[in-house]
Amino acid sequence: MREMLELGRSRLKVKIHTLMMIDSLEMTLADRNIIAENCKNAEEDQIVITHGTDTMTETGRVLAEAKLDKTIVLFGAMIPYKFGTSDGLFNLGSAVGFVQSLQHGVYIVMNGRCFDYNKVQKNRETGVFEAI
């Protein structure tokens, strides 16, 4: 994450916490609750979360149900960052921009767009997230 921020020439002061590094398809409710608890306990009220794209909306739901008075943005990449054609850097930049300007709530940022966590779905055929 720090490498991506440096590559994007970010000048923001950020704290980076790694909670888990698992495939989002393997995430359990307990894992999602760990994410929610860490968000609750964070001093910051603007939080960006890197997340696998397959179950991002499920984690968004758990975060919303926690009713945190924070702005939380989840983002990911359809193509892993380590591949040269990844959308990860663009999505990170978008997430950092949106988290600073949105009201408190839970959002998913992908493909240059911002969605309410419960009004978006992943289109596996086109490789983009779409409003529902």
- Enter the pTM of the model: 0.87
Domains recognised in the chain with CATH numbers: 2-9+45-131 (3.40.50.1170)
Q: Which residues contact 76 (CB under 8 A, 6 or more apart)?
A: 24, 50, 51, 52, 53, 56, 88, 91, 110
Q: Work out the end-to-end distance of the chain between its first and last CA atoms, rounded to an integer number of angstroms.
A: 30
Is residue 6 pLDDT above 90, yes or no?
A: no
Is residue 2 pLDDT above 70, yes or no?
A: no
Tens digits of residue pLDDT in 33-74: 999 999 999 999 999 998 999 999 999 999 999 999 999 999
